[in-house]
Amino acid sequence: MAYSDKVLDHYNNPRNVGSLDKGSDKVGTGVVGAPECGDVMKLQIEVEGDTIVDAKFKTFGCGSAIASSSLATEWIKGKTIDEALAINNTQIVAELALPPVKIHCSVLAEDAIKAAVSDFKAKRAEEASKHTEGAQQ
Ligand code: FES
Protein backbone atom coordinates (compact mmCIF):
# COMPACT_ATOMS: atom_id res chain seq x y z
CA MET A 1 0.00 0.00 0.00
CA ALA A 2 1.37 3.40 -0.96
CA TYR A 3 1.25 6.21 1.54
CA SER A 4 0.27 9.65 0.25
CA ASP A 5 2.88 12.40 0.15
CA LYS A 6 1.16 14.17 3.02
CA VAL A 7 1.29 11.06 5.21
CA LEU A 8 4.97 10.62 4.39
CA ASP A 9 5.65 14.28 5.15
CA HIS A 10 4.05 14.05 8.61
CA TYR A 11 5.63 10.65 9.21
CA ASN A 12 9.11 11.90 8.32
CA ASN A 13 8.70 15.28 10.00
CA PRO A 14 6.10 14.83 12.70
CA ARG A 15 4.93 18.13 14.21
CA ASN A 16 4.55 18.60 17.92
CA VAL A 17 5.95 15.30 19.17
CA GLY A 18 6.42 15.27 22.91
CA SER A 19 4.63 15.68 26.20
CA LEU A 20 3.11 18.46 28.26
CA ASP A 21 2.94 18.51 32.05
CA LYS A 22 0.11 16.09 32.82
CA GLY A 23 -0.23 17.53 36.32
CA SER A 24 -0.92 21.09 35.13
CA ASP A 25 -4.49 22.40 35.47
CA LYS A 26 -4.15 23.86 31.98
CA VAL A 27 -3.28 20.54 30.34
CA GLY A 28 -5.73 17.92 29.14
CA THR A 29 -4.48 14.44 28.23
CA GLY A 30 -6.18 11.92 26.01
CA VAL A 31 -4.90 8.38 25.56
CA VAL A 32 -6.76 6.16 23.15
CA GLY A 33 -6.15 2.77 21.59
CA ALA A 34 -7.36 1.20 18.40
CA PRO A 35 -8.91 -2.22 18.99
CA GLU A 36 -8.30 -3.08 15.32
CA CYS A 37 -4.52 -3.08 15.62
CA GLY A 38 -3.50 -2.31 19.21
CA ASP A 39 -1.90 1.02 18.29
CA VAL A 40 -1.95 3.71 20.97
CA MET A 41 -2.05 7.49 20.70
CA LYS A 42 -1.53 10.11 23.40
CA LEU A 43 -2.54 13.68 22.63
CA GLN A 44 -2.24 16.59 25.03
CA ILE A 45 -3.53 20.15 24.90
CA GLU A 46 -2.64 23.23 26.89
CA VAL A 47 -5.51 25.66 27.24
CA GLU A 48 -5.56 29.37 28.12
CA GLY A 49 -9.11 30.66 28.59
CA ASP A 50 -10.85 28.61 25.92
CA THR A 51 -8.01 28.56 23.41
CA ILE A 52 -5.62 25.70 22.79
CA VAL A 53 -2.21 27.34 22.95
CA ASP A 54 -0.13 24.19 22.63
CA ALA A 55 -0.57 20.56 21.65
CA LYS A 56 1.72 17.55 21.72
CA PHE A 57 1.40 13.91 20.80
CA LYS A 58 3.09 10.57 21.11
CA THR A 59 1.86 7.74 18.95
CA PHE A 60 2.91 4.12 19.05
CA GLY A 61 1.38 3.08 15.81
CA CYS A 62 1.41 2.95 12.06
CA GLY A 63 2.46 5.74 9.70
CA SER A 64 -1.14 6.86 9.18
CA ALA A 65 -1.74 7.10 12.92
CA ILE A 66 1.43 9.16 13.36
CA ALA A 67 0.45 11.42 10.45
CA SER A 68 -3.14 11.76 11.75
CA SER A 69 -1.99 12.80 15.21
CA SER A 70 0.66 15.16 13.85
CA LEU A 71 -1.95 16.82 11.64
CA ALA A 72 -4.44 16.94 14.52
CA THR A 73 -2.00 18.82 16.76
CA GLU A 74 -1.36 21.31 13.94
CA TRP A 75 -5.06 21.86 13.40
CA ILE A 76 -6.06 22.32 17.03
CA LYS A 77 -3.34 24.80 17.99
CA GLY A 78 -4.88 28.25 18.17
CA LYS A 79 -8.43 26.89 18.03
CA THR A 80 -10.97 27.07 20.84
CA ILE A 81 -11.78 23.79 22.54
CA ASP A 82 -15.22 23.81 20.88
CA GLU A 83 -13.65 24.28 17.45
CA ALA A 84 -11.27 21.40 18.18
CA LEU A 85 -14.21 19.18 19.12
CA ALA A 86 -15.75 19.91 15.71
CA ILE A 87 -12.81 18.26 13.92
CA ASN A 88 -13.80 14.84 12.69
CA ASN A 89 -11.91 11.96 11.21
CA THR A 90 -13.34 12.40 7.72
CA GLN A 91 -11.52 15.74 7.46
CA ILE A 92 -8.28 13.97 8.42
CA VAL A 93 -8.96 11.19 5.90
CA ALA A 94 -9.52 13.78 3.17
CA GLU A 95 -6.42 15.84 4.03
CA LEU A 96 -4.12 12.82 4.19
CA ALA A 97 -5.85 10.85 1.42
CA LEU A 98 -6.06 7.79 3.65
CA PRO A 99 -7.28 4.55 2.08
CA PRO A 100 -10.26 2.70 3.62
CA VAL A 101 -8.10 0.27 5.62
CA LYS A 102 -6.49 3.26 7.36
CA ILE A 103 -9.65 5.08 8.33
CA HIS A 104 -9.50 3.75 11.89
CA CYS A 105 -6.11 5.50 12.27
CA SER A 106 -7.83 8.85 11.71
CA VAL A 107 -10.61 7.89 14.13
CA LEU A 108 -7.91 7.45 16.74
CA ALA A 109 -6.86 11.09 16.26
CA GLU A 110 -10.43 12.37 16.53
CA ASP A 111 -10.96 10.29 19.66
CA ALA A 112 -7.67 11.53 21.13
CA ILE A 113 -8.70 15.18 20.65
CA LYS A 114 -12.05 14.51 22.32
CA ALA A 115 -10.42 12.60 25.19
CA ALA A 116 -7.91 15.42 25.79
CA VAL A 117 -10.67 18.04 25.81
CA SER A 118 -12.83 16.05 28.19
CA ASP A 119 -9.88 15.49 30.53
CA PHE A 120 -9.24 19.25 30.49
CA LYS A 121 -12.92 20.03 31.11
CA ALA A 122 -13.02 17.58 34.02
CA LYS A 123 -9.99 19.30 35.57
CA ARG A 124 -11.54 22.71 35.08
CA ALA A 125 -14.82 21.57 36.66
CA GLU A 126 -12.90 20.15 39.60
CA GLU A 127 -11.01 23.43 40.04
CA ALA A 128 -14.27 25.40 39.86
CA SER A 129 -15.88 23.21 42.51
CA LYS A 130 -12.84 23.63 44.79
CA HIS A 131 -13.18 27.38 44.47
CA THR A 132 -16.88 27.25 45.20
CA GLU A 133 -16.23 25.16 48.29
CA GLY A 134 -13.54 27.62 49.33
CA ALA A 135 -15.94 30.51 48.97
CA GLN A 136 -18.49 28.81 51.18
CA GLN A 137 -16.13 28.29 54.09
FE1 FES B 1 -4.07 0.93 13.53
FE2 FES B 1 -3.02 2.66 11.93
S3 FES B 1 -3.07 0.52 11.64
S4 FES B 1 -3.75 3.00 13.94
Task: Spell out the domains of the chain, with CATH numbers in brackets.
Answer: 5-118 (3.90.1010.10)
Whole-number Å distance between alpha carbons of 125 and 58: 26
Q: Are 81 and 52 in contact (CB under 8 A)?
A: yes
Q: Provide the CB-side half-sphere exposure for 58 (13 A, CA).
A: 5
Can 105 be counted among the known catalytic residues?
A: yes
Indicate yes or no: pTM above 0.90: yes
Say how many C-beta atoms besides its own lie within 10 A of residue 20's C-beta: 19
Distance between Cα 132 and ligand 1 center (Å) = 43
CB 109 within 8 A of CB 92: yes
Q: Of 12, 21, 36, 37, which residue is the catalytic one?
A: 37
User: Is the minimum distance from the CB of 127 to ligand 1 under 6 angstroms?
Assistant: no
37 annotated active-site: yes
Distance CA 8, CA 35 (A): 24
CA distance 92 to 69: 9
- Closest protein CA for atom 4 of ligand 1: 105
pLDDT tens for the 137 residues of the chain, in order: 678 999 999 999 999 999 999 999 999 999 999 988 999 999 999 999 999 999 999 999 999 999 999 999 999 999 999 999 999 999 999 999 999 999 999 999 999 999 999 999 999 999 889 887 766 55
Distance 13 CA to ligand 1 centre (A): 18
The interface predicted TM-score of the complex, written ipTM, equals 0.98
Structure letter (DSSP) for residue 76: H
Q: Name the residue with the closest Cα to ligand 1, atom 3.
A: 62
Ligand 1 centroid from CA 38, angstroms: 8
Cβ neighbour number for residue 87 with a 10 Å cutoff:
18
